Amino acid sequence: MVKTDWMYQYKKKLCTAEAAARAVCDDDFIMTPLCLGQPSTLIPDAIADRKDELKNVEWRWNLAIRPYKMFKPEYSSTFKITSAFTGTPFILSQFQGMGYGNYAPATVFSSIKQWTYYRKPDVIVCMVTPPDKDGFLNIGPDLMFSRGLLEGKSTSRGFVGGPRTLIGEVNDQYIPVCGDARLHISNFTHIVENSSTLPAFPSPQPKDKHRKMAEHVVSLLRDRDSIQIGIGAVPMLISDLIAHSDLKDIGLFTEMLPTGAPVWQEKGILTGKYKTFRPGEISASFIGPVKELFDFVRNNEQIGFYAGDVMNNPAVIGAEEQMVGINGALEIDMAGQVASLTLGNRMVSGYGGQSDFAMGCRMSRFGRMIIVMASATKDKNGKLISRIVPNLSPGALVGTLAVHVDYVVTENGIAGPMDGMSIDERAEALIKIAHPELQDELVKSAKEKGLFK
């Protein structure tokens, strides 16, 4: 076998986790990809072990899916943990009792510009597959931020972004995918080999109210829709209902690939042939830690993974003729403003891509933005608390503008289409799908606001 140039590069860059960790310097800004593309604990923990040598290191973790050592309190004097999307117990532990904590506002689409033009990371640590015969490693099913982060971007004013140090954890158990997922060995400064099992989270257990919500959502879908939806109890049920529906020629243009995609495709429901973006292909940015999808996406030429500045670009989304976004909320006020990041001052998740898709669905001919949530929750004393509210809780961050919402769905029904409704009409429609025991109080509050004159 003739050794090619990339093989020499690979061997030269191959090192231990401890050696790679020594590339981190004081005052560095470090980032990782969003989900499965995050490294195992090996390299981050080796960096954490340098806590007494380093100072003022910021590490941006988005949707952290592993219990990294540096999340422990004893590492906080060296490592400042920030996040643009919290959403998992590991990273939320950094925000408990801290309100917004070290939250850094960013949508998926806006973040690519942020991290190439304004806050270029010094170091990136990511998981990749072993190289192919041409020296390309595969980023795997996690391209939401990865492409722009790992190699920067070419612009009319020259090349921008890209880290000083790019550490790749080569894992033979990682998942190679199709699309824009190949990155050459020459982009990396350090390579650490480590065979490790990918994390997989258990499926959520749906309740009766989740099924009712899912049924309402599916009633709003039409043949030839391109759908954006994630994972969770309600999306899982929506996936199941779609699989047993008479819908035809559904397409997927989404950030996170839903769990129902394999069944939709098997049953001939998911053809994507009326999509504008790469017709006939399933298009996504990443998958969650869902074991059922691992084999489905592996080298599957019918699925293309693309970066967030493509999949979350409102202009690209809006070019789809029947783009349907299906997203959740924590609170909705009577005008239809959506709080999906926070409960008051308490950080729960992040902007993610909801507002990107809301704008895209607004631009899409026959597009719809559907917000789904339970009508009420309970406080620690078991008291019912409405999630449809007269005013958003003080400190709440608006994730989606009222003018970008077409339908609101709870277990009690559907409010909408909201386009063209006055605030009075919106309030009336939303109160009708609120929890029955709380509707009278909401009417009273609406009148106190000056509605229903």
- Catalytic positions, written as ranges: 255
What distance in Å separates the CA atoms of residue 137 and residue 446, rounded to the nearest whole number?
57
The dihedral region occupied by 58, where left means phi > 0, alpha psi between -120 and 50, and beta the remainder, is beta
The continuous run of DSSP H or E covering 292 comes out as helix 291-297
End-to-end CA distance of the chain: 84
CB atoms within 10 A of CB 211: 17
CB atoms within 10 A of CB 37: 26
| Residue written as token pair 């749906």 | 206
Please, are residues 83 and 350 in contact by the beta-carbon 8 Å criterion? yes
Q: Where are the beta strands (DSSP E) in 235-275?
A: 251-252
Could you tell me which residues come within 8 angstroms of residue 251 by beta carbon, excluding any fewer than 6 positions away? 224, 225, 226, 227, 270, 271, 272, 273, 274, 275, 279, 320
Q: What are phi and psi of 385, to 5 degrees?
A: -125, 120
What distance in Å separates the CA atoms of residue 417 and residue 361, rounded to the nearest whole number?
14
Could you tell me which residues come within 8 angstroms of residue 9 by beta carbon, excluding any fewer than 6 positions away? 135, 185, 186
What distance in Å separates the CA atoms of residue 170 and residue 191, rounded to the nearest whole number?
7
What distance in Å separates the CA atoms of residue 445 and residue 162, rounded to the nearest whole number?
51
